[in-house]
Structure 1
Amino acid sequence: MRDITRLKPALLGAAAMVLLATPGAAQAPAALSGLQTGIWELRDLGRSGRTPQHICVRNPERLLQVRHSGRACPRRILSQDSDSVTARYDCSGAGWGQTTVSAETPRLARIDTQGIHDGSPFHHVYEARRTGACS
């Protein structure tokens, strides 16, 4: 029994090394990896006649957090496959959101996002289309 007690720290250390070496949470979701960077036009499908929004996307994960842009909000992936990803994020004090990005082509995606922003609920469905390079 004494030998097991002595081995415990070594086993825990080995397990930690394996976990740190394993790719995982730091990797971008597969559905986003094929999306191109650049200027993306977001057309709100629920509000016709509204001027489209344009955003610079240097990292496709930016599309998961359209409403709370510019904030570093902890995020967790709820589900994903090769074409879509759903993530939930919490921006302490400013609200939260849950977003599904469905990639149709490297330059076209659908974004369904909802949550609370500064105390008010929101729900938007966007057609997102890459239109050019960021300046």
Structure 2
Amino acid sequence: MGMLDELDHGAWELRERGAGGAVHRVCLENGRQLIQLKHPGLSCSSVVVEDEANSVTVQYTCRGRGYGRTHIRRETNRLVQIESQGIVNGLPFLLAEEGRKVGSCRN
């Protein structure tokens, strides 16, 4: 998953693909944070399904909290495409977002 470690750190804007897609920001300290967007901060077990130079697919399980499968494709170290699906709080989720570095994190 070295590709994720090469992503630029800082403030990232995550924009849902599609008409009227919501936008939210995250302070990215490590590209691996993008794997668990719907389960942030939880300690989850994971299995790397695919690990290529410009893409990674990870399946993870957060015991008692849900699970997900995330595919991240790097266009540049400042632009990625994210697709994730799984279960959170007993409900299914499907996520398709574009992530773009927009600056520095604000403290």
Same fold (TM over 0.5): yes
Contact 1:36 1:107 in 2 (8 A): yes
Q: Which runs of 5+ in 2 are unaligned?
A: none
After superposition, the C-alpha distances for 1:64-102 in whole angstroms (9 at most, x for unaligned) are 111111211111211111000000111111100000010
Q: Which protein is richer in strand relative to its size?
A: 2
Q: CA deviation at 1:125?
A: 0.6
Answering whether residue 8 of structure 2 is matched by residue 63 of structure 1, we say no
What residue is the counterpart of 2:50 in the other structure?
79
Aligned pairs (5 A) from 1:1-135: 29-46=1-18, 48-135=19-106
Displaced runs of 4+ in structure 1, greater than 2 A? none
Contact 1:30 1:83 in 2 (8 A): no
Q: How many residues align?
A: 106
Percent pairwise identity: 38
Q: Which protein is richer in helix relative to its size?
A: 1
Query: Structure 2: how far apart are the matches of 1:71 and 1:103?
Result: 24
Q: Which runs of 5+ in 1 are unaligned?
A: 1-28
